Amino acid sequence: MTMRITIILVMSWAEHARTELRRSGARSGGAREAVIAYLGEQHCCVSAQELHDGLRAEGRTVGIASVYRALDQLAELHLVHRVDLDRGLTRYEPAQPDGEHHHHLVCDGCGKVETFDDPVLERALSRVAGSRDYALAAHDVVLRGACADCRS
């Protein structure tokens, strides 16, 4: 008789981020920990200001400079993606360790942000990068238009 035991190791993004930070030689501190905890609960991108305000609303007061420093550090380790949806405002979202990601669809009317992913799109992007001999590190795709509600 054979028994097969499968252990599924589920590590949340926040845990993953803490692990990678430790591995990179960083110490831990309250401000960055708060940023990680907050980001881990987001399903889509947030701006530094939103993050700052969100933490304040939870009672954790963190200097805005520390928010930016934490985000920089996380981006450096590829733990967050920077997303530019509005000009002049950077948004950040947790990056999945397995490279899984999505893109954004923004409604010009109501500002609503939806996400999507599309294998054909991804293949087209890889093909373009390959044909120009670029080692692709990141890619951003933003679609803008009027959603069904805003058109009716």
* C-alpha 80: how far from chain center: 4
**What residues numbered 94-113 form the site for a second copy, per CB under 8 A?**
105, 107-108
Q: Which is nearer to DNA, 35 or 107 (CB)?
A: 35
C-alpha span between 37 and 23 (Å, rounded): 18
For DNA, the binding residue among 48, 85, 141, 147 (CB under 7 A) is 48
User: Per-residue x/- mask for DNA, residues 74 to 113, rule CB under 7 A?
Assistant: -------------xxxx-----------------------
DSSP structural state of residue 12: -
Contact call for residues 108 and 144 (beta carbons, < 8 A): yes
C-alpha span between 132 and 98 (Å, rounded): 25
Q: Is 139 in the site for a second copy (CB under 8 A)?
A: yes
| Rg of the chain in Å (alpha carbons) | 18
Applying CB under 8 A, the residues found at the interface with a second copy are 82, 84, 87-88, 90, 105, 107-108, 114, 116, 118, 120-121, 124-125, 127-129, 132-148, 151
